[in-house]
Amino acid sequence: MTDKASRYASYPSLSVRRVLITGGASGIGAALVRGFVEQGARVAFLDIQGEAASELVVQMAAAGLVQPRYWHCDLTDASALHAVVTEAIAALGGLDVLVNNAGNDQRHRTDEVTPEQWDSLMAINLRQQFFVTQAALPALRASGGAAGGASVIHMSSIAWRIPSIGLPAYVAAKAALVGLAKTLAHEEGIHGVRVNSIEPGAILTEKQKRLWVTPEYSAEILARQAIKRHLEPEEVVRLALFLAAEDSSAITGQSFIVDGGWV
């Protein structure tokens, strides 16, 4: 465990949990992979960014951490998705936690979106989350009877609550993920599977800094947040760890905001 991580909560129940994370090669996803590994969990992650994924695995090995397992996967390829998820779960020996983190906040103007672009944005921001969950459910149900149950976490966004402008398909998809979590929580609770969602605000990932965070936008973020500092990916991870652990065994169908008080 890193010095920074040692300042925060440790969850003994996570040390025996098998965790699958989508979009785990960079940003919040990479922080999730590291966070669960530091808790002792067995971790597999899916991503299309092979180079970034390999670099993450090497970095974790250099830090003396157990290496997570990586599967290259285009999550929008519905025909291949089920097989990859099934293979990753088999390698883990089952599944206790699924974190649907992958997404793409590509900007797009309402009057310029084509049907093809709409479908593409929904494929990465909504459709794949459903079908990854569908593929994982048999394994999650199998482990759901254990203490704390199985846990599914959807990574939504405050984008639909603000609401954000300039990315309407993304906003629609992130709102839908909260609804999906609620209905799945009621469908799967009988099997001991809990389903919640997390809604991050403006999290300062490398991608955000590279593509979107200008001095003007940075000032706007701080003006709107109650907490006057930029938020880091690890601050989202700490909530995900709690929702995956037995400590949250009575919590399901809920959505939690991590935004420094923006909403």
Q: What is the pTM of this model?
A: 0.95
**Residue 170 annotated in active site:** yes
- What pLDDT, on a 0 to 100 scale, did the predictor assign at position 261? 97
- What pLDDT, on a 0 to 100 scale, did the predictor assign at position 4? 61
Give residue-wise pLDDT tens across range 160-171.
Answer: 999 899 999 999
258/263 Cα distance (integer angstroms) = 9
Residue 218: other Cβ atoms inside 10 A: 15
Sequence-separated (6 or more) residues with CB below 8 Å from residue 210: none
Across 208-224, average pLDDT = 86
Give residue-wise pLDDT tens across range 71-114.
Answer: 999 999 988 999 999 999 999 999 999 999 999 999 999 999 99
80/103 Cα distance (integer angstroms) = 18
Catalytic position from the list 8, 11, 70, 170:
170
CATH number of 5-251: 3.40.50.720
Q: What is the mean pLDDT of the chain?
A: 94
65/57 Cα distance (integer angstroms) = 9
> Where are the domains positioned within the chain?
5-251
Closest by alpha carbon to 188, among 142, 235, 256, 241?
142
- What pLDDT, on a 0 to 100 scale, did the predictor assign at position 260? 97
Token digits of residue 195: 């389903």
